[in-house]
Amino acid sequence: MRYDVITIGGVVEDISFHTNEGIIIDNKKDMLRQRLLAFEYGAKIKIDKVDKTFGGGAANAAVSFSRLGLSTACVASIGTDERGKRILNNFKKEKVATEFIHKSKLFETAYSFILVGPSNEHIVFSNRGANQDLKIANTKNLENTKWIFISSLSGNWQKDLADLFKVKNVKIAWNPGHRQLIGGIKVLNHYLAKTYVLLVNKDEALEICLSSGKLKGKNNASVNDTENLLKILKSFGPRIVVITEGAKGAKCFDGQKIYSQKAIKKKVFNTTGVGDAFGSSFVAGLELYKGDIIESLKLAALNSASVVTHLGAQTGLIKMKVSAKGGSASG
């Protein structure tokens, strides 16, 4: 079968702990850790609520694409446990093809503990589990798609990236994960040149640009300027660069014009998976609206706004009323 998009990366079950006992600390002196969520050392912290939902970059993006009417498959790895079965059942319910899902005999299915603080911001403690055993057995299969959407990779991710970027006749959208970002521009540069859409948040953009040395000697205003970061990232070769800035919205640069998209104001209940919703919806918009960046940004903002009002990374993802190009969406 030929797909519109194949997502690749992590799948997890999320266990969320909600508490109002933490405090937010401004930490402007550290450009890569500007806001901290803190708790008293040695204290017993009261948990108000615990929830279980599904997550992981590849899973969140796959469900998003599918609900927007695109035929979707996911390449990921799960264990042979009950958690893995629940993830597979969720994919089937969401009409995401599972033919490329690997069942690892070495690891249990991944899970995350998500600490949700007083302002509904969160910190994720991630057990990579079977995500470390991702298998891309035959990249020939990945040629049967228009788009490949790569999220965070673990395990032997260097080989996986090299294999993925050799796939012919597909457009690659990439949201580099923590391990890829640690490698800096020396690791990323070769792949950025072959990326169609690069999707990062402000902190991730800053991390890449700092590793390149192009911000050396710049003042804080210049370092923190999103448009400056867009231009630096674009210089590494991706066709389109998108930087999200949380409640401030997002900016996009295609080499010709910088586009701005304001966030749609909603009462924030949850921020888990918002980046996945924005990135996948933007890419879906490029497919649905024939490359129209403005419409794609609007769709991304709409989906992100819906996600923040619901529990978990996938619950609030919008659905297209019709799957034809140009169809309208609803929550």
On the question of pLDDT at 330 being above 60, the answer is no
Bridging pattern class, strands 12-18 and 49-55: antiparallel
User: What's residue 323's pLDDT?
Assistant: 40
pLDDT in tens, 184-196: 999 999 999 999 9
Of 303 and 117, the one with more pLDDT: 303
| Residue for token pair 């093809």 | 97
- 25, 33 in Cβ contact below 8 A? no
Counting Cβ atoms within 10 Å, is residue 81 exposed (0-12), middle (13-18) or buried (19+)?
middle
DSSP-assigned letter for residue 17: E
Q: In angstroms, how far is the first alpha carbon of the chain from the final one?
A: 29
Model pLDDT for residues 44-67, shown as the tens digit of each residue: 999 998 999 999 999 999 999 999
Q: Which domains does the chain have, with CATH numbers?
A: 3-20+49-324 (3.40.1190.20)
CA 105 to chain centre: 27
- Tokens 């405090």, residue located: 23
Residue with tokens 């969720």: 90
Which residues in 295-308 are b (16+ Cβ under 10 Å) and which e? Answer: ebbbbbbbbbbbbb
pLDDT in tens, 125-172: 989 999 999 988 778 889 999 999 999 998 899 999 999 999 999 999
Per-residue pLDDT tens over the stretch 218-236: 777 778 899 999 999 999 9
Beta carbons within 8 Å of 324's beta carbon, 6+ residues apart: 69
Question: H or E segment at 207?
Answer: helix 202-212
